[in-house]
Amino acid sequence: MHFAFVDYLVFGAYCALIIFLGLWVSREKKGHQKDTKDYFLASKSLPWWAIGASLIASNISAEQFIGMSGSGFRVGLAIASYEWMAAITLLLVAWLFLPIYLKKGIYTMPQFLEVRYDSRVRTLLAVFWLLVYVFVNLTSVLYLGALALEGIMGIPLWYGVIGLAFFATVYSIYGGLKAVAWTDVVQVIFLAAGGLLTTYLALDAFGEGAGPIAGFSRLLAEAGDHFNMILFKGEMLYPDDTGTLQDAYDLLPGMSVLFGGMWIANLFYWGCNQYIIQRTLAAKDLKEAQRGVAFAAYLKLLMPLIVVIPGIVAYAMHAPITRGDEAYPWLLNQYVGPGFKGLTFAALIAAIVSSLASMMNSTSTIFTMDLYRHYFRKDASEHQLVRVGRIVALLSMVIATLLAPQLATLDQVFQYIQEYTGMVSPGVLAIFIMGLFWKKATPNSALVSALLSIPLSVLMKLLVPSVPFIDRMGITFLVSIALIVGLSYLEGKGKDDPRGISLSRDMLKTDSAFAVAAFGVIGITTALYVIFW
């Protein structure tokens, strides 16, 4: 991508704005020192619109812009199920999960597991999340982001990794979650504006200058096979990066996207994931948290227009590319002109660095609040805990920076990471679901389920390798639920566990604004599936 002077100006202005805003919101009044609530929970002061924006900025990264556009190129709109079903999942998390989390006054997801089960479950899952965030999430986002920069701008991989790590660290490490969340509001504006601009220009080009609506109409007519949301076996065959034909059903197995294993992936990610939930824990109150999540659900409905449609346009244009992941960079190079390239590039960078900053902050939160304060220094002052949080955040980014380029030796990095995470999510989600909504679940049953999570998933893959990955997740989840139920009855003799959570109708009440927003999301999602069935 060739940058004109105005593109450098736009991109430079974006970088300066983010750094200035991050440092400005991080400042403290004279004589006040940040405590753990300030640093890890943004002083419990986030309004709904900041929560919603931060949730999406943390969620969207290079794998969406590059990976989902590539999937749109290969298999079409069906890949949008990950976004549209997530919108419904967010509503469930806001309605059923958040009231309990906020009532317990927790900082982290492992802390909730101690409140509900015991310290063994908390420690095991805290260590697990630290390993995943540092060695999987941070490392992969750095690598995939730098890979995107290399493909678009020709920036060497190492330089890209170091540049992204430095950018995410420089504005977030001092201010903590407050800096991350408030800069995310701006990041989402750049992300949406730049992404929608790319889609607009691509559709206009496909419509031969008649505008995006004409371009979309032509796209529906000429690439109709790429607009089916529900794929059945043998319906969509596509060539992978080696030219071998693959069945899209193995990635998106029919009705399972509506009623099967995709719920496992979404509920785990949106309901049990520290770097997602942490924003809602920082809300002023439950009402603001739920409204923020509803706002995020509407933004999720918009995402396929930004990250999937461009890939379908590239397919309809018969883009001369060999890999699906080249679709988005190809469009940027072909159809985004001077002055706009800086904005679209800023959108991509915004998606990457906001995710990095969020993961780094959540890593430091878990280590500080779940391990350091719990095992290393129980009498640590608030000032010491904040200092440890900053040190851990920096160290986690340094480790990820050193490891990220090594992922270049692996093939299909993103798919490998998704499958690895998917081997853990069914068992962990089972622990949370049963802990939240079944008072008989015992600590020992949760511990056993956590320890067997990966072995169960591996066994399922070995026993039924022909079953699509999403379906295997659903089966593993049901097995984990059965395991917790069986062990709990054996141990507790059918009695409620002393730490079981008592639910009431009042606890799960929502205000009218959230209810109206929720019905809107459900209506739009239903209409989208009916239209593109």
Q: Would you say the C-alpha torsion 22, 28, 34, 38 has a positive or negative sign?
A: negative
- Predicted local confidence at residue 136, as pLDDT: 84
Q: What is the pLDDT along the chain (533 residues), one digit of tens a residue?
A: 677 788 888 888 888 888 888 888 887 777 667 778 888 888 888 999 999 999 998 888 777 777 788 888 888 898 889 899 999 999 999 999 999 999 998 989 999 999 999 999 999 999 988 988 898 889 888 988 888 788 777 888 899 999 999 988 988 888 888 888 888 888 888 888 888 988 999 999 998 888 899 999 999 999 888 998 888 888 887 777 667 777 778 777 878 788 888 899 899 999 998 988 999 999 989 999 999 999 999 999 999 999 899 999 999 998 888 777 778 888 888 888 877 888 888 888 888 888 888 899 999 999 998 999 888 888 888 889 989 999 999 999 999 999 888 877 654 455 556 666 777 888 899 999 999 999 999 999 999 988 888 888 888 888 888 888 888 888 889 999 999 999 999 988 888 888 999 888 888 888 889 999 999 999 999 999 999 88
d(CA 3, CA 194): 15
CATH T-level topology, domain 5-19+35-408? Sodium/glucose cotransporter (1.20.1730)
- Residue 143 token pair: 């690598």
Which residue's structure tokens are 């197995």? 253
Which three-class secondary structure state does DSSP give residue 245? strand
Query: Which residues, 6 or more positions from 32, have their beta carbon under 8 angstroms from its beta carbon?
Result: none
| Per-domain residue ranges of the chain | 5-19+35-408, 410-502
Q: How far is CA 277 from CA 54, 59, 64, 477, 488, in A?
A: 11, 11, 20, 21, 28
Compute the 3-state secondary structure of the chain and give helix, strand, coil in percent, each to the nearest 5. 75, 0, 20
State the pLDDT at residue 45.
Answer: 86
Could you write out the three-class secondary structure of 9-55?
Answer: HHHHHHHHHHHHHHHHHHCCCCCCCCCHHHHHHHHHCECHHHHHHHH
Tell me, what amino acid is at 274?
Q
Distance (Å, whole) CA 341 – CA 344: 5
Taking the C-alpha atoms of residue 359 and residue 404, their distance in angstroms, rounded to an integer, is: 15
Query: Distance (Å, rounded) from C-alpha 304 to C-alpha 77?
Result: 8
User: What pLDDT was estimated at residue 411?
Assistant: 46
Full-model pTM: 0.90
pLDDT of residue 409: 65
As a whole number of angstroms, the distance between CA 372 and CA 368 comes to: 5
pLDDT for the residue numbered 419 = 65
Query: CA-to-CA distance for 47 and 113, rounded, in angstroms?
Result: 27
